[in-house]
């Protein structure tokens, strides 16, 4: 996709774990920075991952931060987040970690808004949707003219109620985006 195709639109990139969503988003961000001169907010929600996990889908290399070249036009925002499915010892702890992640992410939105950027790239938005509101997320995204967002949309991490909630949130984003890229 050319950077012009995502300008002034909501582009959503979805797929399974390790399908190339983050790498694709990084390439699109780099092309966008080369083509357009405005400042860009980069919101990276990739969690800190444990070295090992009992989850059957866990393997080294799962997830990851968005590679961003240094630029005065790039305003990078991250917050320390957990990986609830991979770290929790119980279902209750999984939900607690997800709620804490959502709270931290919502507090990060204030700082992103203060950057006054009109373009935002968001990595791993599905982490917010595990306990956060798709409507709140969409309202926040609507503050930007150009929105490029990626997130997990698959079955390899589970099909339980926790995963179903995340999946429903991603489906709401899919219904509301201007351009959908599937991996």
Q: Which CATH number does the domain housing residue 42 bear?
A: 3.40.50.300
Nearest C-alpha neighbor of 49 from the set 16, 99, 84, 100: 84
> pTM for the complete prediction?
0.91
Own/partner long-range contacts of 127-130 (Cβ < 8 Å, ≥24 apart): 127/45, 127/46, 127/47, 127/81, 127/83, 127/101, 127/151, 128/45, 128/101, 128/102, 128/169, 129/165, 129/166, 129/169, 129/170, 129/173, 130/84, 130/98, 130/101, 130/102, 130/162, 130/165, 130/166, 130/169
Torsion over CA: 152, 155, 158, 162 (sign) = positive
Contact indicator for 76, 68 with CB cutoff of 8 Å: yes
Q: What are the tokens at 37?
A: 């001169």
Please tell me the total number of residues recorded for the chain in this structure.
Answer: 183
- The list of the chain residues with pLDDT below 70 reads 49-63
Distance CA 28, CA 102 (A): 26
- Number of domains forming the structure of the chain: 1
- The parent domain of residue 177 ranges over 3-182
Nearest C-alpha neighbor of 127 from the set 181, 82, 67: 82
Beta bridge partners of 151: 14
């Amino acid at each position: 996709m050319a950077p012009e195709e995502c300008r002034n639109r909501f582009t959503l990139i979805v797929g399974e774990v390790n399908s190339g969503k983050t790498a694709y988003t990084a390439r699109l961000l780099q092309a966008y920075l080369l083509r357009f001169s405005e400042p860009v907010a980069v919101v990276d929600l990739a969690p800190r991952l444990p070295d090992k996990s009992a989850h059957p889908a866990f393997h080294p290399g799962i997830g990851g931060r968005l590679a961003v070249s240094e630029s005065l036009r790039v305003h990078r925002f991250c917050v320390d987040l957990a990986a609830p499915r991979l770290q929790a010892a119980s279902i209750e702890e999984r939900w607690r970690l997800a709620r804490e992640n959502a709270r931290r992410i919502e507090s990060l939105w204030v700082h992103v808004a203060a950057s006054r950027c009109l373009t935002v790239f968001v990595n791993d938005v599905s982490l917010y949707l595990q306990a956060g509101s798709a409507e709140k997320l969409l309202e926040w995204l609507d503050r930007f003219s150009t929105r490029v967002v990626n997130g997990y949309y698959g079955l390899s991490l589970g099909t339980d109620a926790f995963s179903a909630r995340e999946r429903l949130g991603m489906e709401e984003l899919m219904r509301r985006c201007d351009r959908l890229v599937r991996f």
